[in-house]
A and B are shown apart, each in its own frame.
Chain A
């Protein structure tokens, strides 16, 4: 039986299959099922400060609106004695999840202001999270805001959070950095224990009938694997940190590729949402079989084995790969 154990952010994990931040972690029973199916750790759904503030303000707005303005109707809603609002709801849920499962639970946070990032990070730590993932989901649209300034604010954020919490800290990144290795290095220097590549941005679509911009949530597929695969392969060995690959992991082959590129774990959501939590069990079994068939004794053995540093032709990951891909395409089609 090959050894599937791995370590991520200093946490010892029984296998590299981690459930990534998704609606699955919103329900206690699905969290339990994730553990039963073989997930080695769970990343909680993200605490979005902006969303919490928005919900609070919206509730307040609608409960207040129209009140005290007409003699026969002083208000239009009963005001409840308690609302499960704000960060406390997230923390309470996190505590509950921790109580119900024995695998590590990683908190996930998306803040707005520097003060609240730190405040919430501490609260997530206090609620019992084994690690924290910062989700820096920010889409700059202001032409005045330079990439240098934005990167500096990210680094500052990591530094601030790092100095306030003791649990391991991971950073979930988008692929949109001019020089990913440079910023990755700065993040690690600022105190990140791991990098999660990459955050998927859901790109809005256009509805041509109504001429409206509409949200479009599409689950990933295996071709989405390539981007994080390439970058982990490039960064592995260059940046001393733990890598987690997220986006596009749908089969045991995808998991193996991620490991070979240099990831310590893969994170899954789309595959489980599309085909059920039971897929974890199948992936784990397929992974084991593949390792056995191909005579690998452990996962650790293959981690980084096909990173840029380890392959015969390092240029395959760089520009040459692009040219070769185009040439192959021409030869094949014309």
Chain B
């Protein structure tokens, strides 16, 4: 027997299939084989399980091409994936469907109807979500679908199969408590009463067709190369279709409309105070705001929302906040961040979650119109406020990161603040997977066609990789400056001098330099002097670039630490952003040196017994490294200040950013609240150490958070990583918690002493003042 199961990562399909293999392999005389195909997404990922069973040894090291049993565990797949392409004539198709046996036919796309008829498939439906929900299982439909598989396939007698499934659930989950076993068993018991065979019609009656993988207007490369990958047919692409140098076009996630958010935010114009906090925290850049001339509203769709803008820089302009419904993952962080509540009903905020399907088409049209509105002129805004920062176009959008990811809002912020002059060296880890994995790329381009340059090297050398980028950019600039004086005749003294002495500390200054470089290129375009070719090849380096070295704590604290230390010590102008989840998130939550004491992680299953490494303090010890510790859920303004200061500092900078993560075992929607508690409990003090302040006679170290005011337990025991130790080894949990609390106290004292230590010497200053 050959079976293929289409599932969502979150519905437990793969886990149930592994369990089925065990049952069949152990309880029958059959041989069993399983292979599981995953996509590269961390939210809404599609899994395909290929299972073979039979009385003879199985020698089939390849995916199933002809399946006698196909199960589709998510109804929504039918409109975007060809789930029946491998169905054998006369086989079985099991569908998890919200529609019963009498009505389901009319909701099937015509391609599915056609396959069911042509291949004469036996068609079954079960409303697995209903059964799972009624049993208290939420969206985990795995045991329901597993029971259906055994019931239909007849691999084992029904009663025997059900007994084995129940037994294995007790064995696997019994230790987590009776309630868990009971709800699974209840789901199994309710399954068969909800499983129906559907009479397949003789003719196709559907009006619906499967949606194209990418919209028709997508560029040719997307259609030719990326669309087959998105559809799961990447293996069929010839090698010749792939870019020879490994360079892929950026800004391609916009073509992969995944529609995975069951709910999306809706804007309430009457309550909104235009603070920009929702856009600031959005992990997928699906909430955006624009300020524009009212004249643009002439062509607006009737349902497009717009209100007068509350920006002192933009009198008489209109403001819109718009959501991209097809790219939103439904995490709800925006709602949590929204500070505006209805005075008559406090549950209604300026942004609230609503069901996606009813608003999808309407908001899709509005989103498309919103994209046609012009972006704000970057030179006209001070970026020092949250609301202004969120008028900057994000050039990092719609990644495959987890719904509610705590890392991506920081990455997105870099792309907004430093825009198309950002150059990123990305360490391997979550950020390299959602940042640059196939099929599509979230790093994007602006209306001028420019965007950040991004590359991923290895885990162990990312800091050096970024330093190389800096050195080569500096070298190019130095060479351009060296040869520029040779072109005074062609370019004019004034242009050459301006190019050499440009003040690029502001967006306006950078824009002016860009214009000069454009003028240089134009004037030298027809020159055939070898030196002119040289200058043209490096002229872009005359525009200030911002080099960001980005990665997680596994890279920065552990595997890449030697290199990171070397790069910080070099004194070069590189910016380091550590997305600190306190574990190796990408590989499943292994402990790093950033893992805090008392938290459970893989390789620290009995709770980490030692304190988290204070990387910020190590970097600070150089004296010339800008260091900031931030948590946007605790203080978005401090986060913004840190990013701006780090970039402005002419030297190495390090930002350690608290990033909540699914490996913490929290509801991701509460991620910002946990960040706040981390700071309030003193576990994550916020500070900025800015060496530039020393020259100004100021204290370089600023403690941005207040003295710990919340017990550490209040923060920690909201998280499974701490709580599970309490549940498995209470004595050790309490002992480690006690020690962790002492860490908090001693760290806080230490920071306070550091602030005092860095206080400028008043006497020295007085003396200096007298001399002046």
Contact = CB atoms under 8 A, between A and B. Distances in A.
A103 to B, nearest CB: 24
B605 interface: yes
Given A55-B177, A56-B178, A76 B589 contact: yes
A76 B723 CA distance: 15
A312 interface: no
B45 interface: yes
A66 B402 contact: yes
A63 interface: yes
A70 B9 contact: yes
B176 A60 contact: yes
B10 interface: yes
Contacts of A81: 175
Interface in B341-366: 341, 346
A104 to B, nearest CB: 26
B175 A65 contact: no
Contacts of A70: 9, 38, 41-42, 45
Interface string B116-143: 0000000000000000000010101000
Interface residues of B, number: 49
Interface in B504-562: none
A76 B45 CA distance: 16
B665 interface: yes
A69 B587 contact: no
A102 B663 CA distance: 45
A73 interface: yes
Contacts of A86: 177-179
Contact of B173 (A55, A60, A72, A212): A60
Nearest to A61: B138
Greatest chain A CB density within 10 A among B42, B402, B433, B588 is at: B588
A76 B721 CA distance: 10
A294 to B, nearest CB: 45
Interface stretch (B11-19, B73-81, B699-707, B750-758): B11-19
A69 B727 contact: no
A155 B290 CA distance: 63
A67 interface: yes
**Could you say which interface size class chain A belongs to?**
35 or more
Contacts of B589: 73, 75-77
A84 B729 CA distance: 8
Contact of B724 (A69, A74, A77): A77
B728 A57 contact: no
Interface in A31-56: 52-53, 55-56
A62 B589 CA distance: 13
Given A65-B10, A70-B9, A57 B180 contact: yes
B10 A85 contact: no
Interface in B27-64: 36, 38, 41-42, 45, 47
Contact of A76 (B38, B178, B433, B588): B588
B153 interface: no
Contacts of A74: 588
Nearest to B183: A57
A80 interface: yes
A149 interface: no
Contact of B175 (A64, A71, A76, A82): A82
A78 B605 contact: yes
A334 B587 CA distance: 76
B38 A59 contact: no
B477 to A, nearest CB: 39
Nearest to B18: A68
A60 B180 contact: yes
B566 interface: no
Interface in B578-614: 585-589, 600-602, 605
21 contacts: A52-B179, A57-B136, A59-B177, A60-B173, A60-B177, A65-B665, A66-B662, A68-B13, A68-B36, A69-B9, A69-B45, A70-B9, A70-B38, A76-B663, A77-B601, A80-B727, A80-B728, A81-B175, A82-B728, A84-B730, A212-B346
In the A-B complex, the 4 residue pairs with the closest CB atoms: A69-B9, A56-B177, A73-B588, A68-B14
Given A73-B585, A73-B586, A76-B588, 4 more contacts: A63-B724, A69-B10, A69-B47, A76-B662
